[in-house]
Amino acid sequence: MERKAFTRSADSFKLQGTMLLNFWKRGNKWRRVYLESEAAEKKAHLEVIHKRGHCGNAATRKAAIEEIYPIHYTEIMTVVGDCPVCKHKGTRGKKKPKKTIIENEPGQRYQADLIDLSAYADRNDGY
């Protein structure tokens, strides 16, 4: 029984030139398999993927999963953390939603637009 499972999983790999490829069923495409001895090449490939958009850990991981097998989150964090563009740009903080002003009674809040209409006197009929 174990032999059939091994044969089935072995069918998902193929050799193309000197590269070993793995078939990814979910993406329906072939991914590059990197051995432990090819760590430098794998890191260079990850850097190329990251430099496509400098989108951060999650987006880089999503793109890398489609092209590289196996991939570890720590490798992606290292590549993104070492990126000089991302270091300079920094992380984007989430904007807090604006606090709504609640009126308990009519006339409790007033709004005024302070515009210098004299700047528009020569065009748009002064508006």
Span 27-47, pLDDT tens digits: 788 888 888 889 999 999 999
Phi, psi values for residue 31, rounded to 5°: -115, 150
- Contacts of residue 25, Cβ cutoff 8 Å, sequence gap at least 6: 12
pTM: 0.62
Structure confidence by residue, pLDDT tens digits, 9-21: 777 888 888 888 8
Question: Token pair of 122, please?
Answer: 């020569």
* Domain range 2-120, CATH class: mainly alpha
Ordered by start, the domain boundaries in the chain are 2-120
Supply the pLDDT for residue 59: 92
